[in-house]
Amino acid sequence: MKRAIITFITAAIYCSSPAYAVSERISAYDFAKDPAKVAALQRAVATMKSYDTADNSTPEFRTSWQYWANTHGYLGTGPNAAGTVATYVPASIGMCGGDPVCISYYDHLRDTPLPNDGVTEDIWGTCQHGDLNFLPWHRMYLHFFERVMRKQSGDANFSLPYWDYFDEKGPTGKGIALPELVRGKSAGAMYDQFRTPGLNEYLTAIDPSNGSAKQAFDFTNFKLFSSLLESQPHGAMHCATGSGCRAPDIGQVPLAGLDPVFYLHHANIDRLWQCWLNREANGKTIDLAWAKANLGMPDSWYDTSYQFVDENGQTVSMTIADVFTPGVINVHYANESSCTLEKPVLKKPKLLGAAVPKAMKSLSPVSHTKGVVLKGNALTVPLQAAAESQLRSASPRAMGTRQGNLMLIIENVDIQGDPEVTYKIYISSKRNPKKSVYIATLNYFGVIGPMHKNHSSDSDSSNKIGTLIYDVQEELMELGVQSTSDIAMRFVPSNFIKEISKKQTTKGSVTVGNIRIEPSIGESNQ
């Protein structure tokens, strides 16, 4: 069943701390209604940007916008740089496919020399992507960034807003709009001209499917949840806002922190993580003991430490264990117990499970092993029966376990050259081709283009997406299939703004090795 909202008990884990006050983060939509908050936000960003030209050995520079953007990723010198402008731009600009607007987005890039202070080389370019440190590292990053913002704003109660993707609709009343806080030149210091054309001007909107976190929340396993959340909505929204991840700023990992909307976006990703933690804790206190008992991570993971600077430009360090220690990061979100996971719908589709209370007909796992090449065109891939299983009629959310749920596994997903478009993944019915159910969108953030060394992947090549796993129990029930012979996969090209019905001429392609749907053997965090 498609569920737009997930509700659960919120654990009371927010304690006051003499070191740093509680941060109460609200949505960008509500934030924009308060002129005093907006003024404080713009003042903080403007002040930080004014420090970009400070002597790079000073505390002022270490609290500058450039310094904090570079903490995520940067071009210049140093062990974690993604290269220099002279190497990065030629290796990336070909993704523009000759588009003059896309090409112009590279003109403002500059190298940032690494300060010779003995600490910055361990801070810049340390963002964690493609591994299980992604969520805790970005939580630390936002915590210290917010502390800098709070000081520069002059507001002792300042907190970062988050971008709830479904709060503000596009000009036609559909799609996802950029928050009013950042779009249009009236946004002041929050404006960044290097975004997907039409978004700043409120002329277009993002395909709402990119903002879906439904697939991530289908899992109680932290490792699968983290991987799926990083892909979508995290990566998909980076690409949707940043020219399909073909150009800077927010569309490319080493440069994303230059765009103010980046921090609102990541605050929402952090909020979604908190929503998931609250759901899993089910009223229990979320602390280090709970995390070690429930996340399935080794003790050594919690000892992982990263360096940042604080609001005074002084170096600080934090471990993943600190992230789960109440009182260290005092953040509370206005909405972390009723999270919208996908575009709300006025009328939910009727579920086959509701109409057929008994077990559905015996269905076999299905697969396609001949490989698939996606080259700018919509493609339907029939799946063939393999071995018998059974599709349960009970709602998987009511079952309390993932054992037996049907999983869609897409293996060996590689990018060849510049694909120019992404692809939305659907499960469809062969008997009724017009009937299909959306699963996910392929994410290219951090996959195409040069990458700094702290971006991990499951291979040595940055153009490999790897293996994708989705729980499709609800989707198959919604589709109403009664036989494996009626199941097909459909890949539909999209530019993250809308689906593309006309075949595109693309220089590159996306290749898929194997596709299969099979029952889960049970879910574990171990």
Mean pLDDT, range 229-251, rounded to an integer: 97
End position of a domain, from candidates 340, 371, 396: 340
Q: Which of 344, 361, 345, 365 is nearest to 353 (CA)?
A: 361
Q: What is the pLDDT of residues 109-138, one digit of tens each?
A: 999 999 999 999 999 999 999 999 999 999
In sequence order, the 6+-apart residues with CB closer than 8 A to the CB of 350 are: none
Residue 525 counted as domain residue: no
Q: Which domain holds residue 189?
A: 25-340
HEC assignment per residue over 469-496: EEECHHHHHHHCCCCHHHEEEEEEEECC
Helix axes 222-229 and 134-153, enclosed angle (nearest 10): 60
Predicted local confidence at residue 481, as pLDDT: 82
End position of a domain, from candidates 285, 306, 340: 340
Do 324 and 381 lie in one domain? The reply is no
Work out how many domains the chain is built from and give that number: 2
CB burial readout 187-197, b (16+ within 10 A) else e: bbbbbbebbbe
Q: Which of 225, 335, 235 is nearest to 276 (CA)?
A: 225
Helices and strands in the chain: count of H runs, count of E runs? 17, 19
Mean pLDDT, range 506-525, rounded to an integer: 82
Residue 113 counted as domain residue: yes
Do 146 and 274 lie in one domain? The reply is yes
Residue 186 counted as domain residue: yes
Do 389 and 470 lie in one domain? The reply is yes
CA distance 256 to 249: 5
CA distance 330 to 150: 14
**Can you give the CATH number for the domain in which 467 is found?**
2.60.120
User: Tokens 């919509």 identify what position?
Assistant: 378
Do 34 and 142 lie in one domain? The reply is yes
End position of a domain, from candidates 340, 364, 387: 340
Do 182 and 294 lie in one domain? The reply is yes
Do 307 and 359 lie in one domain? The reply is no
Instruction: Decide: helix, strand or coil at residue 192.
Output: coil
Residue 460 has pLDDT above 70, yes or no: no
Do 363 and 252 lie in one domain? The reply is no
Query: Of 358-367, 389-398, 445-454, 471-480, where does mean pLDDT reach its minimum?
Result: 389-398
Do 372 and 482 lie in one domain? The reply is yes
416 φψ region: left (φ > 0), alpha (ψ -120 to 50), beta (else) = beta
pLDDT classification of 338: cutoffs 50, 70, 90 = confident
Q: Which of 335, 328, 343, 225 is nearest to 273 (CA)?
A: 225
In sequence order, the 6+-apart residues with CB closer than 8 A to the CB of 513 are: 371, 411, 412, 413
Residue 15 counted as domain residue: no
Do 328 and 375 lie in one domain? The reply is no
Residue 259 has pLDDT above 60, yes or no: yes
pLDDT classification of 261: cutoffs 50, 70, 90 = very high
Residue 508 counted as domain residue: yes
Predicted local confidence at residue 354, as pLDDT: 34
Predicted local confidence at residue 221, as pLDDT: 93
Predicted local confidence at residue 390, as pLDDT: 38
Do 189 and 252 lie in one domain? The reply is yes
DSSP string of 263-296?
HHHHHHHHHHHHHHHHHHHTTS--SHHHHHHHS-
Residue 331 counted as domain residue: yes
Residue 17 counted as domain residue: no
**Can you give the CATH number for the domain in which 38 is found?**
1.10.1280.10
Do 428 and 324 lie in one domain? The reply is no
Helix (H) or strand (E) holding 30: helix 28-31
Residue 20 counted as domain residue: no
Do 243 and 326 lie in one domain? The reply is yes
